[in-house]
Amino acid sequence: MIVSNLSLSFKFFGKKLPVLKNINLSIKEGESIAIVGESGSGKTTLGKSLLGLNPLSQTVVESGEIIYKNNNLLSLSETSLNRFRGKEIGMIFQDPLTSLNPTMSVGNQVLETIIKHDAKLDKKEAKKRVIKLFEWLGINNAEERFNHYPHQFSGGMRQRVVIAIALAPRPKILIADEPTSALDATIQIQILDLLKKIQEELKMSIILITHDLSLISCFTTKTVVMYRGEIVEEADTKTLLSDPKHPYTKKLVGSIPKLHTDKSNRRHNQKGEKPLIEAFNLSHNFVHNLTFTIKEGQTLGVVGESGSGKTTLALLLMNLIQPISGAILYKGRPFTKDDRKEIQMVFQDPYSSLDPRMTVSEIIREPLAIHRVGMKEEQKNRVLELLCQVDLDQSFLKRYPHELSGGQRQRVAIARALALNPKFLICDEPIASLDVSIQSQIIDLLKRLQEELCLTYLFISHDLAIIKEMSDMICVMYMGEIVEMQLCEKLYENPTHPYTKNLLASYLIPNA
DSSP codes, 219-287: H-SEEEEEETTEEEEEEEHHHHHHS--SHHHHHHHHT---SS---TT-------SSEEEEEEEEE-SS-
Q: Which DSSP symbol is given to 341?
A: G
| pLDDT score of 307 | 79
DSSP string covering 282-302: EE-SS---EEEEEETT-EEEE
Structural domain total, the chain: 3
Q: Taking phi first (over 0 means left), then psi (-120 to 50 degrees means alpha), and beta for anything else, what does residue 159 get? A: alpha
Q: How many CB atoms lie within 10 A of CB 356?
A: 10
Average pLDDT, the chain: 88
* Residue 359 belongs to a domain: yes
Q: pLDDT value at position 110? A: 96
Note whether 198 and 215 are same-domain residues. yes
User: Residue 167: beta bridge partners?
Assistant: none
Residue with the larger pLDDT of the pair 213 and 378: 378
- Which residue among 155, 170, 185 closes a domain? 170
Per-residue pLDDT band for 160 (boundaries 50, 70, 90) equals confident
Strand order in the sheet with 15-26: 15-26, 2-12, 59-68, 71-72
pLDDT of residue 267: 45
- For residue 267, is it within any domain? no
The one-letter amino acid code at 393 reads D
DSSP class of 100: S
CATH of the domain at 81: 3.40.50.300
The CA distance from 471 to 314, in Å, is 16
| Mean pLDDT computed over 304-324 | 89
For the stretch 189-201, pLDDT in tens is 777 887 888 888 8
Q: Residue 449 and residue 456: Cα distance in Å, rounded?
A: 10
pLDDT of residue 12: 77
d(CA 64, CA 40): 21
Domain termination site, one of 128, 146, 170? 170
Whether residues 327 and 208 fall in one domain: no
410 and 304 co-located in one domain: yes
Q: Nearest-CA neighbor of 399 among 449, 427, 360? A: 360
pTM of full prediction above 0.75? no
pLDDT more than 70, % of the chain: 94
**Cα-flanking dihedrals φ and ψ of residue 33, to 5°?**
-125, 155
Mean pLDDT across 446-455: 84
Is a pLDDT exceeding 90 seen at residue 431? Answer: no
Rg (CA), the chain: 23
The range of the structural domain enclosing residue 117 comes to: 95-170
Given a cut of 90, whether residue 225 has pLDDT beyond it is: yes
Average pLDDT, integer, range 167-192: 82
